[in-house]
Amino acid sequence: MAYQVFDNKAARLGSPALTIATDGRLALNADAGDLLKGLGAKFVHLLWDAEARKIALRPLTKADSRSYKLSVPHAHKRGMLVSGSTFLHYIGWPLSKRVTLPAEWNEKEKILEAVLPVVRSAAHRTPAARSEPLRTLKEREK
């Protein structure tokens, strides 16, 4: 039997990407991390466009009351992490499945953005729907 070369099982993307993990962290791949590090980012604002189903990270060099800290999981790694479980809960994103999304740098807005796929889930409720009383939602389902 002939030997076969093992292909690295980790998917390596050649452009910025953002992964939403099941623990609520937003993980940026090496290319996205390099982009934000190049801008001197240490913090980000997490942005949500409900109509376009887009999330975005606005890089910041200094913290403010609405910012989230960027962390590097290992000193020698190029990717970055943001703890975004509160944000993901706010937008109604279910944390039941890990998803990796292509991300694009929007030069005009100075943000890194990604489009969320449509998720079909009974538990999925938008921020507006979550603010309504439950009895109203049940009445609308009838």
Question: What distance in Å separates the CA atoms of residue 132 and residue 134, rounded to the nearest whole number?
Answer: 6
Residue-level pLDDT at 10: 57
Mean pLDDT on 64-86:
89
- pLDDT value at 132 more than 60: no
Residue-level pLDDT at 4: 78
Residue-level pLDDT at 12: 55
Residue-level pLDDT at 119: 76
Question: What distance in Å separates the CA atoms of residue 119 and residue 7, rounded to the nearest whole number?
Answer: 31
Structure token digits, residue 16: 């910025």
Residues 107-123 have pLDDT tens digits of 999 999 999 998 765 44
- pLDDT value at 20 more than 50: yes
pTM of the complete model:
0.74
Q: Radius of gyration over alpha carbons of the chain, in Å?
A: 18
Mean pLDDT on 1-28:
81
User: 107: phi > 0 → left, psi -120 to 50 → alpha, else beta; which?
Assistant: alpha
List Cβ neighbours of 129 (8 Å cut-off, separation of 6 or more).
92, 137
Secondary-structure percent of the chain, ordered helix, strand, coil, rounded to 5: 20, 30, 50
- pLDDT value at 135 more than 50: no
- pLDDT value at 14 more than 80: no
> Could you tell me the pLDDT band of residue 130, with boundaries at 50, 70 and 90?
very low
